[in-house]
Amino acid sequence: MEIDPLPNGTGSTAATTTTETTVTATLPTAVSNTTPSSKLSQLTESLKLEHQFLRVPFEHYKKTIRANHRTAEKEVSSVISSVADVADSNEISKDDAVLSLTSLVSRLQGLKRKLEEGSRTENLQVQNCRARLDHLESVDAENLSEWNNVRFKRILVDYMLRMSYYDTARKLAESSKIEELVDLEVFQEAKKAVDALKNQEVGPALAWCAENKSRLKKSKSKFEFQLRLQEFIELVRAENYMRAILYARRYLAPWGATHLKELQLVMTTLAFRSNTECTKYKVLFEPKQWDFLVDQFKQEFYKLHGMTLEPLLNIYLQAGLSALKTPYCFEDDCTKEDPLSQENFRKLAMPLPYSKQHHSKLVCYITKELMDTENPPQVLPNGYVYSTKALKEMAEKNNGKITCPRTGLVCNYSDLVKAYIS
Shortest separation between residue 64's beta carbon and another protein, angstroms: 10
**DSSP string covering 266-331:** HHGGGGS-TT---HHHHHHHSTHHHHHHHHHHHHHHHHHHT--SS-HHHHHHHHHHHHH--GGGGS
Q: Look at strands 417-418 and 410-412 and give their pairing.
A: unpaired
Q: What is the C-alpha separation between 216 and 205, in angstroms, rounded?
A: 13
d(CA 129, CA 273): 53
Strands 410-412 and 401-403: antiparallel
- Shortest distance (Å) from residue 294 CB to another protein: 14
Q: Please report how close the Cβ of residue 115 comes to another protein at its closest, in angstroms.
A: 6
Gyration radius (Cα) of the chain, Å = 34
Residue 42 or 240 having the CB closest to another protein = 42
Residues 293, 230 contacting (CB under 8 angstroms): yes
Residue 124 beta carbon to another protein: minimum distance, rounded to whole angstroms: 12
**231 versus 300: smaller Cβ distance to another protein:** 300
Please write down the long-range contacts of 215-222, taking CB distance under 8 Å and 24 or more positions apart: 215/304, 216/300, 216/304, 219/303, 221/300, 222/255, 222/258, 222/259
Nearer to another protein, 17 or 355 (CB): 355
162 three-class SS: helix
DSSP 84-135: HHHHH-SS--HHHHHHHHHHHHHHHHHHHHHHHHHHHHHHHHHHHHHHHHHH
CB closer to another protein out of 59 and 189: 59
User: 349-353 long-range contacts, Cβ below 8 Å, gap at least 24?
Assistant: 349/321, 349/322, 349/324, 349/325, 352/318, 352/321, 352/322, 352/325, 353/322, 353/325
**Closer CB to another protein, 1 or 207, in the complex:** 1
CB-nearer residue toward another protein: 139 or 206: 139
C-beta closer to another protein: residue 243 or 406:
406
Return the number of the residue (158 or 231) whose C-beta is nearest another protein: 158
Task: Give the three-state DSSP class for 190.
Answer: helix
CB of 159 to another protein, least distance (A): 7
In the complex, minimum distance from the CB of residue 7 to another protein, in angstroms, rounded to a whole number: 9
Buried b vs exposed e over 130-162: b needs ≥16 C-beta within 10 Å? Answer: eebeebeeebeeeeeeebeebbebbbbbbbbbb
Nearer to another protein, 6 or 260 (CB): 6
Q: Which residues pair with 410 in a beta bridge?
A: 403
CB of 284 to another protein, least distance (A): 23
**Whose CA is closest to 103, among 126, 122, 115, 85?**
85
The nearest distance, CB 396 to another protein, in angstroms, is: 16
Q: Taking the complex as a whole, how short is the minimal distance between the CB of residue 83 and another protein, in angstroms?
A: 6
Beta-carbon contacts of 226 under 8 Å, excluding residues fewer than 6 positions away, are: 293, 296
Phi, psi of 202, rounded to the nearest 5 degrees:
-100, -5
Query: Nearest approach, Cβ of 68 to another protein (angstroms)?
Result: 9
As beta bridge partners, residue 403 has 410
Give the shortest CB-398-to-another protein separation in angstroms. Answer: 17
Cβ nearer to another protein, comparing 30 with 334: 334
Q: Which residue's CB is nearer to another protein, number 274 or number 341?
A: 341
Residues 153, 145: Cα–Cα separation, whole Å = 12
